[in-house]
Amino acid sequence: MTVAVDVRDLRKQYTMGETVLDVLRGVDLTIEHGEVVCVMGPSGSGKSTLLNIVGGLDRPSGGAVVVDGDDLAAMDDERLADYRRHQVGFVFQSFNLIPTLSALGNVELPLVFAGVARADRAVQAASALESVGLGLRLDHKPTELSGGEQQRVAVARAVVNGPAIILADEPTGNLDTTTGHEILELIKAMNAEGRTFLITTHDRAVAEAVAHRIVYIIDGSVVKIEQGGVA
Amino acid sequence: MRPRDLIFLVVSNLRRMKLRLALTTLGVVIGTSAIVLMVSLGVGLQRSVVDSLGELGAATHITVMTGYEGITGAESKSLDDRTVAQFEDMEHVDSVMPIVTVMSVQELAYKKNSTNANIQGVAPHKLEEFGYKLAEGRFARTDSEIVLGAAVPAMFLGVFPGSETANQPSLDLLGKRIVATVVEYPSEEAYAQNPMTEPTERTYKLTVVGILEKADMGTDSSVYTTLDAALEYNGATTRRPTYETVTVKADSAEAVADIEKALVAEGFQTFSARSIQDATSQIFIIVQVVLGALGGIAMIVAALGIANTMTMSIYERTREIGIMKAVGASNRQIKRVFLGEAAVIGVFGGLGGLAFSSAGAALANLFLQSMIAASTPTGGASEPTNFFYIPLWLAIFAVAFATGIGLLSGVLPAVRAANLDPLVALRHE
């Protein structure tokens, strides 16, 4: 397997007035193509910050994050937007769909910013929605969909660009157990097709269900890496 | 992002704030209308004033008079055949027409009707050269033949230029004989010797051989005879006549100003419809700028409205901006979306304002014209004046300006949206 993401000595500090907060204190982590890695830890441990930095939504204070050979720390805003457009996909705890756009419109959005032609875009977005089981709900607005269905739309949106890695921040956090389980099954199915995931969770059952490896973070440091249930 | 997708995003964003969009656009409509109506009033007044100044004479003609020392500072010069020859040699001068104005004619009579039209002595071929057109007949060949200005036949009936009515009576004077009575007053010396000296009267029988087409007001009310005849009526005895006025024809209207400048420098007084029109136009440019600036105050308020609407809508859509950034929208793309929304408000407002002010101008013109028609007896005869006139440049400027104002008002909000931290934006509730 080849390396998808290489995180080296990653540090992140937040300055709040006089106090300096060390959120990440030198994290090392390698994720290989086709792997599902879960990051576990209590709230405030820095797991979401790690995810956001790998996703190019936040910037590191030190260290390196190399995705498919490109170091994120060296990218300017424009290049970082380009990186988010093509190399990562996000799935959020609270779905984060645009309420005025249909399911298809939401999935098309990354392709709009990538400049994909309208006809190609519709085909790609529809096929992504089909792959998450929503082929018949293309024209539904988010408010007309259940929580589980909304999260499926978000997954379809995350994969439609064919990214190197999909980042999911507590993807089942807002869902009941059954629906959450369905989303995990979806992630497993997509991983079986070769997609790479980095998932944060504080729920051990979630990590056990989908992860090849589970990374434990406490106070900004990796304390333990163990094999997940899928390995 | 493709332009078509940008438009789609802009339109779908605007669609969900219809009421706010309508109110903001209404502000721009009012601002644009205020500017367009104000400036169109300036343009309309300018046109009607400048057009009526065209009545003063042809655009290429310059009337030259002897100067007064007090005005020009130069030595007073007389207009004689030598100066005429000098003028003919000037650059951009096509032709020069000396005119002898008959001072002493008391009356022109045809049967029981009479008038005291101005008699001008001009070489007949010069009239032709200077573009005087015959409505009927021909130009004079002998000293006893005359050509009448278009309004002269009516003047015999007491109707003067500017007070014509639609169906006024007229006299057919072509080929008719007119009697001119010339009064010669005693000279100062004769008067000093005998204050009781009576003026002497002479009469001349003249035949009307032509009638001119309608031209400017001065021409219409004049009677044209030959130079020699006019000199004789004036009782001239010298062989070197001097002229009251000389008309110079420039080869183009653009050359008029330069020729006038040269003539004034030589110590002559000049007058031309063109230079008066130019001077008047300059005044009206100031009037238009001032009126436009007054209208611009409404536009400033409208611009604040756009900025306010955009700021509000960006605040409400902060989380969406975060989502768009997370799925790969660059700062520039976000900026374009919001600038696009502001520009659309400007375009709609500009087009709406143009439509509104066009309708307003048309209504105001109708109203003012009917007021004028009601208050003047001849209202129906002359061409109706448009007090509000919207030229094409004003229409294009209005829409472009409103769009520009929209874009400008959107710049700050759009930059703010573009620079939002995606993480902060995503956490926004």
Task: Name the CA radius of gyration of chain B, rounded.
Answer: 34
Confidence at A49, pLDDT banded by 50, 70, 90: very high
Is residue A145 included in any domain, yes or no? yes
Is the separation of the CB atoms in B410 and B310 below 8 Å? yes
Is the Cβ of A114 closer than 8 Å to some Cβ of chain B? Answer: yes
Q: Two tokens at A225? A: 């890496």
Is the separation of the CB atoms in B288 and B390 below 8 Å? no
Note the pLDDT of residue B410.
93
User: CB contacts < 8 Å between A and B, how many?
Assistant: 72
Find the closest chain B residue to A115 by CA distance.
Answer: B1
Is residue A37 included in any domain, yes or no? no
Is residue A129 included in any domain, yes or no? yes
Q: Do A82 and B322 touch (CB under 8 A)?
A: no
Phi, psi of B43 (to 5 degrees): -65, -45
Which of B322, B328, B331 lies at the smallest CB-CB distance from A85? Answer: B328
Q: Is B111 a residue whose pLDDT tops 90?
A: no
Tens-digit pLDDT profile for residues B243-295: 888 889 888 888 888 888 888 888 888 888 888 888 888 888 898 899 889 88
Is residue A47 included in any domain, yes or no? no
Q: Do A78 and B329 touch (CB under 8 A)?
A: no
Instruction: Give the pLDDT mean for B162-189.
Output: 77
Find the closest chain A residue to B321 by CA distance.
Answer: A98
DSSP letters along B135-174, please?
EEE----STTEEEE-TTHHHHTTTPPTT---TT------T
Is residue A44 included in any domain, yes or no? no
Find the closest chain B residue to A112 by CA distance.
Answer: B1
Strands B61-66 and B245-250, by their bridges, are antiparallel
Is the separation of the CB atoms in B204 and B233 below 8 Å? yes
Which of A159-163, A180-184, B189-193, B345-349 is predicted least confidently? B189-193
Is residue A172 included in any domain, yes or no? no
Find the closest chain B residue to A156 by CA distance.
Answer: B327
B284 or A11: whose pLDDT is higher?
A11
Q: Is B9 a residue whose pLDDT tops 90?
A: no
* Angle, vertex CA A180, rays to CA A176 and CA A182, nearest 5: 130
Quote the domain boundaries for residue A105: 95-162
Is residue A200 included in any domain, yes or no? no
Q: What is the pTM of this model?
A: 0.72
Q: Is B72 a residue whose pLDDT tops 90?
A: no
Is the Cβ of A74 closer than 8 Å to some Cβ of chain B? Answer: no
Question: How many other β-carbons are positioned within 10 Å of the β-carbon of residue B321?
Answer: 23
Is the Cβ of A195 closer than 8 Å to some Cβ of chain B? Answer: no
Is the separation of the CB atoms in A54 and A165 below 8 Å? yes
Q: Do B328 and A84 touch (CB under 8 A)?
A: yes
Is residue A140 included in any domain, yes or no? yes
Report how many domains make up chain A: 1
Confidence at B61, pLDDT banded by 50, 70, 90: confident
Is the Cβ of A82 closer than 8 Å to some Cβ of chain B? Answer: yes
Which of A28-42, A47-61, B166-180, B208-222 is predicted least confidently? B166-180
Cα–Cα distance, B369 to B347 (Å, whole number)? 32
Instruction: Give the pLDDT mean for B131-153.
Output: 89
* Minimum distance, in Å, between the CA of residue A22 and any CA atom of chain B: 18
Q: Is A231 a residue whose pLDDT tops 70?
A: no
Number of residues that make up chain A: 231
**CA B256, chain centre distance (Å):** 17
Note the pLDDT of residue A187.
94
